[in-house]
Amino acid sequence: MPPRLKPQGGSTATSGILIAVEGIDGSGLSTQARALARWLGHSGRPALLTKEPSSGPAGRLIRRSLRGHGAAAALSEPAMAALFAADRLDHLSRTVEPALAQGMVVISDRYLLSSFAYQSLAVDLDWLRHLNRRARRPDLTLLLEVPTAVSRSRRQARPGDERYEADDHLELVRERFVALGLLLRAELGVVAVDAQGPPDEVLARLKAAVVERLP
Ligand code: TYD
pLDDT tens digits along 115-168 = 999 999 999 999 999 999 999 999 999 999 999 999 988 888 776 658 888 888
CA–centroid distance, 200 to ligand 1, in Å, is 23
In CATH, 17-51+104-213 is 1.10.357.10: no
Does position 12 have pLDDT exceeding 60, yes or no?
no
Q: What is the dihedral of CA 95, 113, 129, 136, to 10 degrees?
A: 30
Is residue 195 within 8 Å of 145, Cβ to Cβ? yes
Is residue 52 within 8 Å of 173, Cβ to Cβ? no
Is residue 86 within 8 Å of 59, Cβ to Cβ? no
Ligand 1 neighbours (beta carbon < 6 A): 25, 30, 52-53, 66, 84, 110, 114-115, 118-119, 162, 164
CA–centroid distance, 139 to ligand 1, in Å, is 21
pLDDT tens digits along 165-199 = 888 899 999 999 999 999 999 999 999 999 999 99
Pick the atom of ligand 1 nearest to 109's CA: 2
Does position 1 have pLDDT exceeding 70, yes or no?
no
Q: Which residue, judged by its Cα, is nearest atom 19 of ligand 1?
A: 118
Domain ranges of the chain: 17-51+104-213
Pick the atom of ligand 1 nearest to 112's CA: 22
Q: Which residue, judged by its Cα, is nearest atom 6 of ligand 1?
A: 30
Q: Which residue, judged by its Cα, is nearest atom 3 of ligand 1?
A: 25
pTM of the model: 0.93
Does position 72 have pLDDT exceeding 70, yes or no?
yes
Write out the H or E segment, with its range, that includes residue 196: none
Phi, psi of 191, deg, nearest 5: -125, 120
What per-residue confidence (pLDDT) applies to 14?
Answer: 62
Does position 109 have pLDDT exceeding 60, yes or no?
yes
- b/e string for 21-51 if b means 16 or more Cβ within 10 A? bbbbbbbbbebbbebbbeebeeeebebbbbb
Does position 5 have pLDDT exceeding 90, yes or no?
no
User: What percentage of the chain exceeds 90 in pLDDT?
Assistant: 82
Nearest to 130 by CA among 115, 143, 141, 142: 115
Pick the atom of ligand 1 nearest to 62's CA: 12
CB atoms within 10 A of CB 139: 19
